[in-house]
Amino acid sequence: MKTTDLVSSAFANTFRSKTRTILTVLAIFVGAFTLTITNGLGTGINRFIDDTVASIGASNVLTVSKSSAAGAASTGPQKYDPDAIATAPTDPGRPGAVNQVSALTDEDITAIADIPGVEEVTPVRSVTIDYVQYGDGQRYVATAGGLITGQTPQLSAGAAPDDDASAREVALPASLVEPLGFADDADAVGKTVTIAVTDPVRTQHLVEATVTGVTEEAFASTVALTNNTALQDALFDAQNTGVPADQLDRYASASAQVSPAATPEQIDEVTAALEDAGYTGRTVADQLGTFKAVIDGIVLVLNAFAVIALLAASFGIVNTLLMSVQERTREIGLMKAMGMGSGRIFSLFSLEAVVLGLLGSVVGAVVAIGVGTAVSAQLTETLFSDLPGLQLIAFDPASIVVTSLAIMGIAFLAGSLPAARAARADPVESLRYE
């Protein structure tokens, strides 16, 4: 019997007992459906995280700081550190929460730049703004931050501020567009807004900037302005009016850029060198690594339940093929009497098991894609409408193919016992079977 004849016979024999076959395929379908959905869930969330990481900063840029003796956020008494500089509280909702780091100076910036692997260092000039306003409209509280090297903000309209431009440019968050008085995101592009900052002697300064784009809401603050260097420097200078020049070189952190072609191992080496020099360096991926680990853990647990369902289905395959072997005992004896070898007999019944696995995995994957796409679209419009760009369940063709092959492999292993029993059958005894 040729290989093509074996395959066609396997498909035909699979549907000899339609009810038994359908029940077995349904058992495999449950596992295939669950595996496809859970893998799609992991793919969708991780893809959204990767896009968000790209919008916050490049993977080859490390945020470098110098830890203070006071340590991490605490509500207890802390020793005074004259070199400490305050940053945003790690727990702003908890009264008394304090977060400080030792300030970086120009000497530190030079030291960081001398570390092997670091190509460029840019000190982060922190600015605390009072409000942002359009024309004579309402004033709204916002935060401000400069562009990080390699950052690609997710935009709903316009373009990102040009960091090399001498003009002051800003990208507004989508949440502030309508409150400030713009008709929509596109209407805000090209307009001029006023940003207010206060210096140490309580004198308020107004700085104007041109809106180049509108950023979508993601993991970042929903009221964060994205400034180019020209605007950030103007705000910093206004905020520090009257401050002695020797007190201006104090930064909470700096951005250290390594080669875009650097491997994760090379970035780890730079991080270790920074640590040896008394600094802490973290990429955006490091900061979101714990979140991704939790998502991967949840997907792994859900996949474990799907595998359990497949193992239960494998017993159904064993039962189905054992009954098929028993019902076709005389047929097996006749095939052997006509010269069909034990290897061909084994292959025939193994192929029938693989066909069951193929049917269950294909049906499960198709239904999972349909259901997952519909559910994801519905959730995007309702529950996750504040997270534009999120496709909760996304399907990777390669992952679906691997899942299907794995299910067919499980089916093959489950069918090996009945197939071996059929291959060992004695042709004389089989022909006598009633």
Identify the DSSP state of 213: E
Using CA atoms, how far residue 47 sits from 159, 179, 386, 394, in Å, is: 22, 31, 17, 8
- Residue 29 lies in domain: 3-53+290-432
Q: Between the CA of residue 90 and those of 100, 157, 269, 286, 289, what are the distances in Å?
A: 10, 31, 27, 17, 17
CB atoms within 10 A of CB 96: 10
Burial track 364-393 (b if 16+ CB lie within 10 A, e otherwise): bbeebbeebeeebeebbeeebeebebbbbb
What pLDDT was estimated at residue 380? 81
What's the DSSP call for residue 216?
Answer: P
pLDDT 10s digits, 79-95: 666 666 655 444 444 44
Considering only CA atoms, which of 284, 287, 283, 278 is closest in space to residue 66? 278
Compute the distance between CA of residue 175 and CA of residue 404 in angstroms, rounded to an integer.
43
CB 352 within 8 A of CB 415: yes
Cβ within 8 Å of residue 410, ≥6 positions away: 310, 311, 314, 357
258 and 298 in a single domain? The answer is no
Where does a domain end: 255, 282, 309? 282
Same domain as 198, residue 94: yes
Q: What is the spatial distance between Cα 233 and Cα 227, in angstroms, rounded to a whole number? A: 9
Q: Which of 14, 4, 1, 2 is nearest to 350 (CA)?
A: 14
Do 147 and 66 reside in the same domain of the chain?
yes
**Both 45 and 132 in a single domain?**
no
pLDDT at res. 77: 63
The verdict on 119 and 241 lying in the same domain is: yes
Could you say which of 282, 300, 331 is where a domain stops? 282
Q: How far apart are CA 227 and CA 225, in angstroms?
A: 6
Amino acid 218: pLDDT: 57
Q: Say whether both 116 and 262 belong to one domain.
A: yes
pLDDT at 366: 94
Q: Distance between CA atoms of 171 and 252, rounded to whole angstroms?
A: 23
Q: Indicate if 402 and 301 belong to the same structural domain.
A: yes
Total number of domains constituting the chain? 2
Quote the CA–CA distance of 268 and 282 in Å, as a whole number: 10
Pair 297, 424 in one domain: yes
CA atoms within 13 A on the CB side of 372: 24
Which of 282, 314, 348 marks a domain boundary? 282
User: Six-digit token pair at 327?
Assistant: 């019902």
407 and 360, same structural domain?
yes
Backbone angles phi, psi at 7, to 5 degrees: -65, -45
276 and 294 in a single domain? The answer is no
**How does 286-298 read in b/e, with b if 16+ C-beta sit within 10 Å?**
eebeeebeebeee
Cα–Cα distance measured from residue 209 to residue 171, given in angstroms and rounded to the nearest whole number: 10
Residue type, 99: N
Residues 188 and 326 in one domain: no
**Backbone conformation region of residue 341, classed left if phi is above 0, alpha if psi is from -120 to 50, else beta:** beta
Question: Are 103 and 233 in a shared domain?
Answer: yes
Given a cut of 70, the residues of the chain with pLDDT beneath it are 1, 51-58, 67-101, 147-152, 217-222, 285, 287-292, 386, 388-389, 430-434
